[in-house]
Amino acid sequence: MSLQVSKRIYRRFAGAMLLALPLGAIASGTRPAQAQPVPPTTTAPTSLAASPAVKKVLGLAQQSNVCQRLIDIKTDNASFADVVERIKEKLPTNTLKVEVRGANPVSVSLDLKQAKVGDILSNVAALAGCKLFVHDAQLIVGPPAQLSAVELADFRQQKGGDWLQSRDSGGAEWGSDVSGNLLLLGAIAQEAVGADQGSVKTTFGKFSPESQEILLALAASLNARQVGIIRAPGTPPVLPLHLGASSPIKIEATGPENISVLFPADLSNPNAPTTGIRVGVSRYINMGDGKPPANTGGNIIKP
On whether both 180 and 268 belong to a single domain, the answer is: yes
On whether both 58 and 182 belong to a single domain, the answer is: yes
- What is the per-residue pLDDT across 9-54, written as a single tens digit (0 to 9) for each? 344 444 333 443 333 332 233 334 444 555 444 444 446 777 888 8
**What is the distance between the terminal CA atoms of the chain, rounded to a whole angstrom?**
6
- What is the per-residue pLDDT across 213-237, written as a single tens digit (0 to 9) for each? 988 888 877 777 666 566 677 776 6
pLDDT at 292 over 70: no
On whether both 179 and 291 belong to a single domain, the answer is: yes
Which residues lie across from 115 on neighbouring strands? 71
Q: Does residue 46 lie in a domain region?
A: yes
Gap between the Cα atoms of 176 and 111, Å rounded? 35
Last residue of a domain, one of 167, 201, 225: 167
The predicted structure's pLDDT at residue 232: 72
The predicted structure's pLDDT at residue 206: 93
On whether both 96 and 232 belong to a single domain, the answer is: no
Gap between the Cα atoms of 103 and 130, Å rounded? 6
On whether both 58 and 181 belong to a single domain, the answer is: yes
Per-residue pLDDT band for 125 (boundaries 50, 70, 90) equals very high
- What is the per-residue pLDDT across 141-193, written as a single tens digit (0 to 9) for each? 999 999 999 999 988 888 889 998 876 655 444 544 556 677 888 888 888 88
pLDDT at 88 over 60: yes
Last residue of a domain, one of 135, 167, 199: 167
pLDDT at 126 over 60: yes
On whether both 290 and 179 belong to a single domain, the answer is: yes
CA distances from 278 to 240, 287, 299 (A): 15, 6, 17
Last residue of a domain, one of 167, 184, 211: 167
pLDDT at 257 over 50: yes
Per-residue pLDDT band for 263 (boundaries 50, 70, 90) equals confident
Domain count, the chain: 2
CA distances from 36 to 33, 67, 91, 126, 218 (A): 10, 19, 14, 34, 14
- What is the per-residue pLDDT across 44-87, written as a single tens digit (0 to 9) for each? 444 677 788 888 888 888 888 889 889 999 999 999 999 999 99
Q: 142: domain range?
A: 67-167
CA 124, 31, 168, 157 torsion-angle sign: positive
On whether both 22 and 61 belong to a single domain, the answer is: yes
On whether both 44 and 188 belong to a single domain, the answer is: yes
Q: Does residue 136 contact residue 123 with C-beta atoms inside 8 Å?
A: no
Q: Does residue 300 lie in a domain region?
A: no
On whether both 47 and 131 belong to a single domain, the answer is: no
What is the CATH classification number for the domain harbouring 157? Answer: 3.55.50
In this structure, of 19-28, 97-106, 245-254, the range with the lowest mean pLDDT score is: 19-28
Gap between the Cα atoms of 164 and 175, Å rounded? 14
Q: Does residue 239 contact residue 264 with C-beta atoms inside 8 Å?
A: no
On whether both 74 and 56 belong to a single domain, the answer is: no
On whether both 185 and 50 belong to a single domain, the answer is: yes
Gap between the Cα atoms of 288 and 265, Å rounded? 13
Q: Does residue 303 lie in a domain region?
A: no
The predicted model gives 114-134 an average pLDDT of 95
Residue 301 has a CB neighbour count (10 Å cut-off) of 19
Q: Does residue 285 contact residue 295 with C-beta atoms inside 8 Å?
A: no
Q: Does residue 21 lie in a domain region?
A: yes
In this structure, of 36-40, 108-112, 196-200, the range with the lowest mean pLDDT score is: 36-40
Mention every residue, 6+ apart, whose C-beta is less than 8 A from residue 123.
none
Prediction pTM value: 0.66
The predicted model gives 126-140 an average pLDDT of 94
On whether both 266 and 198 belong to a single domain, the answer is: yes
Average pLDDT along the chain = 71
Q: Does residue 249 lie in a domain region?
A: yes
